[in-house]
Amino acid sequence: MSEWFTRNRVIGLALAAFIAVIDQVVKWYVIGPLALRSQPNKKIDLLPFFDLTYTENRGISLGMLQATSMEMRWLLVGLTALIALVVLVWMMREKLLGDIIGLGLILGGAIGNIRDRWDLGYVIDYADFHIGTFRPFLVFNIADAAITIGVVIILARSLLLREKDETDTEEPSVERPVES
């Protein structure tokens, strides 16, 4: 393999592709066979703490930067595509599999959501986790979950590796034999 396509990077690219495809397949299933988009209450109760609830997210994270016009839609497509490109370049520069896995999750999730916004003008969300009436998250999708998990992996690895690196730079105490 060439220098750019090491085993770890190929794994990261394959993970990104897998996340993007699974995200799109589940979204198709939610609006196709389950027909959640056309149901009056747009909800299917699966578990006491998890429902499928169809929503159209016209913003980005936490509903910020709402695309209320065609110009704003394409601006969000461009912005998220630029972020995805930065993540791709970052991933192709990394060598450690742990970092590449996190970046692959982020990239795959970004691609899944970019595809929605490109084709539909909004992102399809459907996963509704709740505890009674308390909802710790907004309605989300597989792409959102992958992005979140990827960010957590990158943050955790950077914090844990930095602490390890700082302890590695300290001089180890070496006992010297006492001369008699």
Please say whether the beta carbons of 73 and 121 come within 8 A: yes
- Hunting for tokens 């709740």 — which residue is that? 130
Amino acid at 30: V
CA dist., res. 68 & res. 104, Å (int): 30
* 8-state DSSP, 63: G
128 catalytic? Reply is no
Catalytic one of 45, 144, 165, 168: 144
Counting Cβ atoms within 10 Å, is residue 98 exposed (0-12), middle (13-18) or buried (19+)? middle
125 catalytic? Reply is yes
CA dist., res. 111 & res. 142, Å (int): 11
Catalytic one of 23, 99, 116, 125: 125
Q: What residues act catalytically?
A: 125, 144
